[in-house]
């Protein structure tokens, strides 16, 4: 809601100081998220290697449960068909 001056009043967020149990659970969630990010990065690296080796996009998408749109968004469209097709 705007005041007459045309500016929105800023709300100062309170500082969070969770309990020991909350901080422990937060640390576990952060560690799990980082591990998942690393695993996803590794998966995309291996998908790229397979694609560069000539595995058809349709096979990659079916076997890795990724959409073709996501594959193309990540690596760009193939300019030539894979070898052996």
In a domain, 38, yes or no: yes
Q: How sure is the predictor about 23, in pLDDT bands with cuts at 50, 70 and 90?
A: very high
**What's the structural domain count of the chain?**
1
Output the pLDDT for position 22. Answer: 96
Report which DSSP code applies to 80.
Answer: S
Domain assignment present for residue 8? The answer is: no
Does residue 14 belong to any structural domain of this protein?
A: no
Residue 64 lies in a domain: yes
pLDDT score at 45: 97
Q: Does residue 83 sit within a domain? A: no
Name the residue range of residue 46's domain: 20-75
Establish if 33 belongs to a structural domain.
yes
Domain-embedded: residue 67: yes
pLDDT per residue over 40-67, tens digit each? 999 999 999 999 999 999 999 999 999 9
Is residue 45 included in any domain, yes or no?
A: yes
First to last CA, the chain: 61
Look at residue 2 and tell me whether its pLDDT is greater than 90. Answer: no
């Amino acid at each position: 809601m705007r005041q007459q001056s045309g500016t929105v009043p800023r709300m100062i967020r309170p500082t969070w100081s969770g309990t020991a149990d909350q901080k422990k659970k937060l640390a576990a969630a952060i560690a799990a998220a980082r591990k998942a990010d690393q695993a996803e990065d590794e998966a995309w690296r291996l998908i790229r290697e397979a694609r560069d080796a000539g595995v058809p996009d349709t096979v990659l998408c079916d076997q890795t449960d990724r959409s073709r749109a996501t594959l193309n968004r990540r690596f760009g469209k193939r300019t030539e068909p894979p070898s052996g097709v």
